[in-house]
Amino acid sequence: MVKISKDEVKHVAKLARLGLTDEEVGRFSTQLSSVFEYIEVLQEVDTEGVKETSQVTGLENVKEKDEVLPFKVDGEELTGEKLLESSGLPVESRQILVKAAIKKS
What are the sequence ranges of the domains in the chain? 6-43, 70-99
Share of residues in the chain with pLDDT > 70 (%) = 99
Residue 85 neighbours by CB under 8 Å, 6+ apart: 91
Residue 21 neighbours by CB under 8 Å, 6+ apart: none
pLDDT in tens, 51-86: 888 888 888 888 889 888 888 888 888 888 888 888
More confident residue, 57 or 29: 29
Please tell me whether residue 78 adopts helix, strand or coil conformation: strand
Rg (CA), the chain: 29
Residue 73 neighbours by CB under 8 Å, 6+ apart: none
Q: What is the mean pLDDT of the chain?
A: 89
Q: Output the pLDDT for position 104.
A: 80
| Strands 71-73 and 76-78, bridge-based pairing | antiparallel
Q: What is the topology classification, in CATH, of domain 6-43?
A: Histone, subunit A (1.10.20)
Q: Output the pLDDT for position 13.
A: 95
Spatial distance between the Cα atoms of 58 and 39, rounded to a whole number of angstroms:
26
pLDDT above 80: residue 94:
yes
Q: Output the pLDDT for position 78.
A: 83
Residue 9's Cβ-count burial label (10 Å; 0-12, 13-18, 19+) is buried
Which of 1-5, 11-15, 36-40 is predicted least confidently? Answer: 1-5
